[in-house]
Structure 1
């Protein structure tokens, strides 16, 4: 299937429940419009719920055999050219983009709040511990799912509890412990759709917080290609090492395949420099993994989330199919 083709319409499967759904239902929405790489085929059906209750209504009405995929700001995401079968849920800022100060240096934050905005709102209340989010190009929902972190702090260090909607439409709350956090990972069920979370920081003057935020911004602007079409860090840091050092040692700094290129400024960043396809980008990533394994013995693991179908069966095998 190519990105120019359409999936069958899923709306009839929702039956009369369509009348009760207040959010936007968009068949065959091209996902290249919502990913930072600006690549990707269509979502069979995109749903943008009005709020948490609306999302619960939709999930109750959706047949259990229809696949569900959640996307956030699209920053750490590579959608393949064949698109995504089933429903793609994207939580809009209007219903999921609020930050509420609860007192005691706690904040309730919607899943669509950009990480940078969370840092900004925390600073206004004199709540420290969130400056690291200034440099993370995503939203809170993604940070909760992947335990996003930087500069020695991770999401798990700040989360009190998380609200989520289940596949069957139940609204529940998970504790920090129930999220099962590890490095760039949460063991919470993949069927859960995170809608908001309560975070806790500590007392710190706004001037000190803003100084920390400025340091994060300065480091990012100097070391990362922030004005390019990119997905952030491509590979997770191997234990005891940095992914960029492995990529560099494998001779892949500046490596280009089609319109996709490993950044010369920060070689753990993949760029869309010339109308790349998702296939170009994933082929580049797997080529780098293959070269790194062959030349350094290190197995790099993707940090960027890759979703969807390959076009016309043009699958790309991990490590290009090479044996260890």
Structure 2
């Protein structure tokens, strides 16, 4: 990829041609043209404000719900670090940095006696990612608990957006693709720490039994269509264990794709598309990707 023009000075870390495979759960994919890890909010704002508007920007959290294509990601990938990972409680409201994990948010809520956000423990990502995607599991989703969030726009401007402004639907928001979520406020309800922990334990046990948590995977691959469960449609189409190269449909949970060792992102994405084709042929249902697919496909040999 060609070098981005006139990059602004930063106080954080700016890495050219940065490999992204180590940063995503699938452990596959190409490089970022530039990887920017801002020191703080002002560093992020100054950088985006000074960046050529033609250079694309994409935020990256824990990389759990993402296929980075083998040709890499042009422009700048922004990854929020410790400066954006704090979580605090005030009454039944949680103030969360965009880089904080669901585990940290739910643990902080438990310690403060805040119930209603236990499901966040089962979402393998950061606040920025699950605010953007309306992440959810086990009967809860972000749109149920979000008060508002602070985002930095591509222009460098910081704005606060209320829940209603995000246009939430199932696993989707209307946030601009190049906006970076830097903080969010969630509202729970008063609860007892022991009962909250018991609910988190129940969710963790259910995940352990049903999902391939110790594999290189990207989480739930397809959205559940109205009136259907994606895993069941995949199973009924005969795709359990189906593989292309090093990519395989999980035998434990058929809505998970696995990198069994050395799969390319192309193999993983091609497998997903083959599953979608077989489901469409079997049931007439069009599965929609839940996993984000970003970047450029590898050039043909």
Q: Say whether the fold is shared (TM-score over 0.5).
A: yes
The offset of 1:190, in angstroms, is 2.2
Correspondence for 2:192 among 190, 199, 205: 205
Which whole-Å deviations, capped at 9, do the CAs of 1:73-104 have from their partners, x for residues lacking one? 00001000000111111111x11110021x22
4+ runs deviating over 3 angstroms: none
Contact 2:59 2:178 in 1 (8 A): no
C-alpha root-mean-square deviation of aligned residues, in Å?
Answer: 1.0
Aligned residue in 1 for 2:109: 122
Task: Please report how far the alpha carbon of residue 71 of structure 1 lies from its aligned counterpart in structure 2 after TM superposition.
Answer: 1.0
Please name the residue that 1:35 is paired with.
24
Name the residue aligned to 1:267.
254
Question: Who is 1:142 aligned against?
Answer: 129
- 1:100-150 Cα offsets, whole Å, 9 max, x none, are 21x221011011111111111100000001111111111111100000011
Displacement of 1:274: 2.5
- Matched residues in 2 for 1:255 and 1:78: separation? 18
Q: Could you tell me which of 70, 91, 104 is aligned with 2:59? A: 70
Task: Tell whether 2:55 aligns with 1:61.
Answer: no
Task: Check whether the contact 2:99–2:128 (CA below 8 A) recurs between aligned residues.
Answer: yes
Say whether the 8 Å CA contact 2:64–2:124 is kept in structure 1. Answer: yes
Alignment pair present for 1:9 and 2:9 = no
C-alpha separation in 1, matches of 2:261 and 2:169? 36
Contact 2:16 2:35 in 1 (8 A): yes
Match of 1:97 among 71, 77, 85: 85
Match of 1:190 in 2: 177
Residue 239 (structure 2) aligned to one of 217, 228, 252: 252
Partner-residue secondary structure (3-state), 2:58: strand
**Does residue 229 in structure 1 map to residue 225 in structure 2?**
no
Residue in structure 2 matched with residue 309 of structure 1 by the alignment: 296
Q: Counterparts of 1:109 and 1:186 in 2: how far apart (Å)?
A: 19
Say which SS state the counterpart of residue 215 (structure 1) adopts.
Answer: helix
Asked whether the 8 Å contact 2:95–2:183 carries over to 1, the reply is yes
List gaps (5 residues or longer) in structure 1: 1-6, 315-324
